[in-house]
Structure 1
Amino acid sequence: MEFSTQTTASLHQIKTAALGVGVFTDGVLTPAADIIDRASNGALRAVVKTEFKAAAGTSIVLRNLPGVTAARVILVGLGAQKDYTAAKHASAERAFAKYCGQASLTEGVSALASTDCADTTLRQRASAAATAVLYALYRYEGTFGKPQSNKPKLRKLALSVTRSQAAEAQKGLREGHAIGNGMNLTRLLGDLPPNVCTPTYLGSTARKLAREFKTIKAEVLDRKRIEALKMGSFLSVSRGSYEPPAFIVLKHTPAGTTARNRKPPIVLVGKGITFDSGGISLKPAANMDEMKYDMCGAATVLGTLRAAAELELDREVIGLIAACENLPSGRANKPGDIVTSMSGQTIEILNTDAEGRLVLCDALTYAERFKPAAVIDIATLTGACVVALGHNNSGLFSKDDALADSLLQAGRQANDTAWRLPLEDTYQEQLRSNFADMANVGGRDGGAITAACFLARFTENYSWAHLDIAGTAWHSGKNKGASGRPVPLLVHYLLGQAA
């Protein structure tokens, strides 16, 4: 996909197959739409007055307008002007890209980013535009027997801006392009079936990224090396499956990094359960197919590292992925088993379906060796977080206020929001065990919080945050598929740390 800026012609003189302009529900035309309206002798105002309500994300096509060179003008609804936000802008860009895809167009020009909206810069709107377009053009094709006929043909998109805005818009487009590519890698990995996207496949994907980008190095540790590290908690989850586990280490190191100028890295840790049956504590059959998405934390790490490498991010980022399956068998974990983690702490397993924290805890212990500036784990960890927050916000837990605030701000900038939940020591009592240092579950009450409290016991020596993405990593129903979240949040956070 090629992104560029269009600065050489007045809007009504731009020759393109599709020109996107925005309209507010209260009848107010954006400056771009006003230019087209005046050039076409009021054609836009007539349509808005009679048939187009301009609800956010809706669109209508006007063809061969008099005085306008573009073959089609796509009026895109922005909602009420007083409520116009970054989220509404992203929705508008997706609607424009969706139309271009459905109409089998190969190129288009969007003037949507030229409209100011609350708390955003042109660079951020340009970034959101590129990300939205790539998101709208994604099609899963991995396991169809025949080529899909609905694959979009859009290859070029330009943003209409002034000459003075071009440099800022180009920076935004570059960032959005990288974020969109990272999101779509994350979505593809999530959407692949679990008999394809195995722990071994995730390891191969990491190695592929290392071949594609010079700044990335990948190492995949097999069972013997994991055993040598004494990751007893992680290995206990993998025992029930024939698929071997993999512990994946990805490093993005900026060019020119030396021992003298190296800063403490930021470490991202991803839960990589490529299929979660619940183990002996078997899940209900309904919707169990969606448990292929239980590796979306791992997929997020791979997508974020890909974006960091494409952007040549001037900050060292390390990705750690503990990948395995959680299946029932004669060798699988049993309720009542006690395992020893890499940290030496023992864990009584009361529920084998609370396996994500068992793999993450050893990865979090491993992260300590890098002397990190911050560690962020990403996991589809608890249904309790979905109950608490639904599908709009990821759950954020941290005892470090500065780290939490940075992540929340990055989420707002990226339109990939999180909500901070408590992480108080009083909840730790729910994890008490009569037979081990801790239990792996703390009961029904506050389930997302006690899961985070469990992880906190392995992160005392560095700054740490936990993102529970169980409610945001994928969509169910007719739009079933991975969402690519929270790649935008994490990339914006990393850009802020590199600045």
Structure 2
Amino acid sequence: MEFRAQAAGSQALTAIATDALIVVLSAGEAKAQQLAPALASLLNDALKSGDLALKTGRTLYIHRPAGVKAQRLVFVVAADTGAKAFKAAVGAGYAAIKQGGAKQVVVASAFEAALGATHAQALVAALSDAAYVYRHTKPSAPAAPMLAKATLAVADAKAAKAVGEGLARGQAVAAGVELARECANRPANHATPSFLAAEAKKLAKAHGFKCEVLERKDCEKLGMGSFLAVSQGSEQPPKFIVLRYEGAAKTAAPIVLVGKGITFDTGGISIKPSAEMDEMKFDMGGAASVLGTFRALGELKPRVNVVGLIPSCENMPDGRAIKPGDVVTSMSGQTIEILNTDAEGRLILCDALTYAERFKPAAVVDIATLTGACVIALGHHRSGLFSADDALAASLQAAGDESFDLAWRMPLDDEYEEALKSNFADMGNVGGRAGGAITAAMFLKKFTAKYPWAHLDIAGTAWKSGAAKGATGRPVPLLTHFVLSKAR
């Protein structure tokens, strides 16, 4: 889809010839709406007749509106003039025309305040999300929407330039989100560890990244006993993927992103209930988000160095699989008693976190669909954010706010570590049920003493269940904005 900005103030909107015009209004501010006479007349008539109310989410579709060159007109009401509300309104407005024949759309606001770069990013996010259709294993999927071009109308040329920069960033993030969704949506017999490795190599070739894939023997030489223990019950060979984006001087310490790449999680010997187990193909959402973020970096080319680490394997139960009570030795040399084989994500991440030390990173962020406990704590709106570094946590929180990809900081008090004590190893891989998301983060923290570290638990945000089942592509927007904030 093509996105562009156009200088066309509210008075000029009626003269724009387009398939559809979406006008975003602000809830409860009838007197503040800035509109040309023809549009104002249509709006006032709709308000008087009760066909539209200035309440959040309300829409009105008008076909062949009088005095307006656009063939279709949609009024949609946003909760306020902020970018987050604008995104929701654009999505609702587009839904009113999605099934029709519109190939191009112009979006404008009746706000007194000018639209900015964040509104532009919101526009791209809303329309790109609406246009995505998964069809890799479903050729019978409905055709993608016809929309090919979207224009954001702003007051003048100066505003158009600023908004244009926001559109460019938004398109890069949207491309990353789409890649992450596409990878995570594929079934596990397609999206194997080898598939992730191939996608990483494809990205590297397309955008000039460096890519290395460590095989089982390489991991054995490095002493990745914890990662390999998880993989030993599967016929699929494990892959440890290393991506490098070098946008700054070689001496600049990189940001390291570590993505959990369990391409299917049965739970192993501690097998999961069969209900909804199919959704465990999404357990590589962290890995998908790292690939998606690199896709965005390839478009934006910021002056920063970034390393992506993806430990990838399946967690399967067979005669070679790890058992509850087994003790393994991690790459760090610390031993781990495996009390629950379904707590496998932390077992592959801990070796990746140790491997990250060699890059002398400025910061390390791991991303994982790690615990159901985080879903219970935060639901599906915010990812869990864990970090003992206040500055790093604040930076990630701000990136989430800016990108509408929200996170919530959770505690890491030392007392939670007590739950991981073991009589037979340096630590157990699980604590009790209480505070499960926190004790999982405390486990990972034991492998991060040499650099600033944060953990994002995306178990509640990486995919949706039910009728809307599918990957969301989160937290690619958060991660991309975070990395961009570190560019020089």
**Structure 2 residues without counterparts, runs of 5 or longer:** none
Q: Deviations over 1:356-396 (max 9, x none)?
A: 00000000000110000000000000011111111111000
Which residue in 2 is equivalent to 1:144? Answer: 138
Which residue in 2 is equivalent to 1:473? Answer: 462
Contact kept, 8 Å, 1:178 with 1:307, in 2: the verdict is yes
* Cα distance, 1:55–1:202 mapped onto 2, change above 3 Å: farther
Q: Which whole-Å CA distance do the structure 1 matches of 2:229 and 2:110 have between them?
A: 51
Q: Which whole-Å CA distance do the structure 1 matches of 2:362 and 2:320 have between them?
A: 39
| 1:399 partner amino acid | A
Cα distance, 1:85 vs structure 2? 3.5
Matched, 1:405 2:394: yes
Contact kept, 8 Å, 1:113 with 1:159, in 2: the verdict is no
Which residue in 2 is equivalent to 1:225? Answer: 218
**Structure 1 residues without counterparts, runs of 5 or longer:** none
1:248 is aligned, of 223, 241, 254, to 241
Q: Which whole-Å CA distance do the structure 2 matches of 1:90 and 1:477 have between them?
A: 23
| 1:428 partner amino acid | E
Number of matched residues?
A: 484
* Cα distance, 1:306–1:65 mapped onto 2, change above 3 Å: same
Contact kept, 8 Å, 2:7 with 2:157, in 1: the verdict is yes
Cα distance, 1:66 vs structure 2? 2.1
Cα distance, 1:130 vs structure 2? 1.2
Q: Which whole-Å CA distance do the structure 2 matches of 1:18 and 1:99 have between them?
A: 10
Q: Which whole-Å CA distance do the structure 2 matches of 1:14 and 1:483 have between them?
A: 34
Which residue in 1 is equivalent to 2:108? Answer: 111
Matched, 1:69 2:69: yes
| 1:172 partner amino acid | G
Which residue in 2 is equivalent to 1:374? Answer: 363
CA RMSD of aligned residues (A): 1.7
Cα distance, 1:124 vs structure 2? 1.0
| 1:48 partner amino acid | L
| 1:190 partner amino acid | A
Contact kept, 8 Å, 2:363 with 2:452, in 1: the verdict is yes
Which residue in 1 is equivalent to 2:374? Answer: 385
Q: Which whole-Å CA distance do the structure 2 matches of 1:152 and 1:196 have between them?
A: 26
Which residue in 2 is equivalent to 1:396? Answer: 385
1:210 is aligned, of 198, 204, 214, to 204
Contact kept, 8 Å, 2:51 with 2:60, in 1: the verdict is no
Which residue in 2 is equivalent to 1:440? Answer: 429
Q: Which whole-Å CA distance do the structure 2 matches of 1:284 and 1:299 have between them?
A: 25
* Cα distance, 1:464–1:69 mapped onto 2, change above 3 Å: same
Cα distance, 1:496 vs structure 2? 1.1
Q: Which whole-Å CA distance do the structure 2 matches of 1:320 and 1:55 have between them?
A: 46
* Cα distance, 1:252–1:112 mapped onto 2, change above 3 Å: farther
| 1:69 partner amino acid | K
Q: Deviations over 1:275-299 (max 9, x none)?
A: 0000000000111011111000000
| 1:319 partner amino acid | G
Residue 52 of structure 2 aligns to a residue in which SS? coil
Q: Which whole-Å CA distance do the structure 2 matches of 1:283 and 1:422 have between them?
A: 28
Q: Which whole-Å CA distance do the structure 2 matches of 1:334 and 1:87 have between them?
A: 47
Q: What is the TM-score normalised by the length of structure 1? A: 0.94
Matched, 1:416 2:409: no
* Cα distance, 1:29–1:369 mapped onto 2, change above 3 Å: farther
Contact kept, 8 Å, 1:272 with 1:295, in 2: the verdict is yes
Contact kept, 8 Å, 2:26 with 2:33, in 1: the verdict is no
Contact kept, 8 Å, 1:22 with 1:29, in 2: the verdict is no
| 1:136 partner amino acid | A
* Cα distance, 1:276–1:153 mapped onto 2, change above 3 Å: same
Q: Which whole-Å CA distance do the structure 1 matches of 2:432 and 2:107 have between them?
A: 51
Which residue in 2 is equivalent to 1:270? Answer: 259
Contact kept, 8 Å, 1:100 with 1:108, in 2: the verdict is no
Which residue in 2 is equivalent to 1:156? Answer: 149
Matched, 1:482 2:471: yes
Residue 101 of structure 1 aligns to a residue in which SS? coil
Residue 166 of structure 1 aligns to a residue in which SS? helix
Cα distance, 1:27 vs structure 2? 5.7
Contact kept, 8 Å, 1:296 with 1:473, in 2: the verdict is yes
Contact kept, 8 Å, 1:123 with 1:171, in 2: the verdict is yes
| 2:45 partner amino acid | A
Q: Matches of residues 459-470 of structure 1 in structure 2 within 5 Å?
A: 459-470=448-459
Deviates more, 1:38-47 or 1:101-110: 38-47
Contact kept, 8 Å, 1:393 with 1:417, in 2: the verdict is yes
1:91 is aligned, of 77, 81, 88, to 88
Contact kept, 8 Å, 1:251 with 1:319, in 2: the verdict is yes
| 1:204 partner amino acid | A
| 2:197 partner amino acid | G
| 2:327 partner amino acid | I
Cα distance, 1:53 vs structure 2? 3.0
Which residue in 1 is equivalent to 2:43? Answer: 44
2:127 is aligned, of 128, 133, 154, to 133
| 1:210 partner amino acid | A
Name segments (4+ residues, structure 1) moved above 6 Å. Answer: none
| 1:207 partner amino acid | K
